[in-house]
Structure 1
């Protein structure tokens, strides 16, 4: 919005107007003058919906807080310890289980611990990400890799942990590029562990 200024009448008013303009110009140029306000750096607001995937080093620990309506939140950590592919399964042929020619069993060794609170630890939320964009989810099948990750384990309090191998189906000769965890019961984002080729 522009304001319209009406010129003052008379020589005295004109002189006062000119003096005021000269004073304003000199104060802007002098070092002691107050510089005009500048816009500060814009703050980047990040939240659970905008949080990118956190890439960890092999064996790195991911930490999150659960959001539960049934009790207080729990502080939880997760790690990827190792990956095996293929894994022999002498009891159940893969073709009968998955029905895909050329697929093999794979096993991801994980560890989940509580730092505080209570948690029912399962393999829910874990995936294998392959280079072509395919994601594999856990198979509820007992393979030869041991120890096997339990179907469900109740963890309680600091230092309570569960470790074991989670079963997956993978294409023969194709290794996943990373293991991915989107923890259930929270919206804090996902964690990724690179799976280096052997």
Structure 2
């Protein structure tokens, strides 16, 4: 939710800046600043609004800034929260932009109750746990739900085959996002040169 609020605030501030220049009749500066303000608005939406993770019966869909990953349950080998929630598969590791691990402040605020009953795969050697596994953090909340579902499927024998079909992990590149950001960045640079 914080990311979406931040993206909305950035877009609104950029629009207010453009509106202020239009009301003032400063058309030269308006034409020069429309490109960078549009770029920062689009970047804020791509980085803070769009990323998400969807969990369903077939697997997990991770929507990041430039790519979407469709991961079937049998392809998930491990779920980690070191820097952000990360899914490990036989083909690659997939960071989840929508679920970052806490910083130092967030790690200090974690209480014992936040790291109890997380599921067996959350705990390391000596029952140690990472700050990102705490259910009071974004990464920990998503990891908790993912692990519960993944462990239940494993314990029920649905992941026993160990066979992951080649190509079952689907990756979609967000070409439109890349084109929009690239075009706006090029317009920004061109506007600074002129």
**TM-score in same-fold range (> 0.5):** no
The TM-score normalised by the length of structure 1 is 0.21
Pair member with larger Rg: 1
Higher helix share: 2
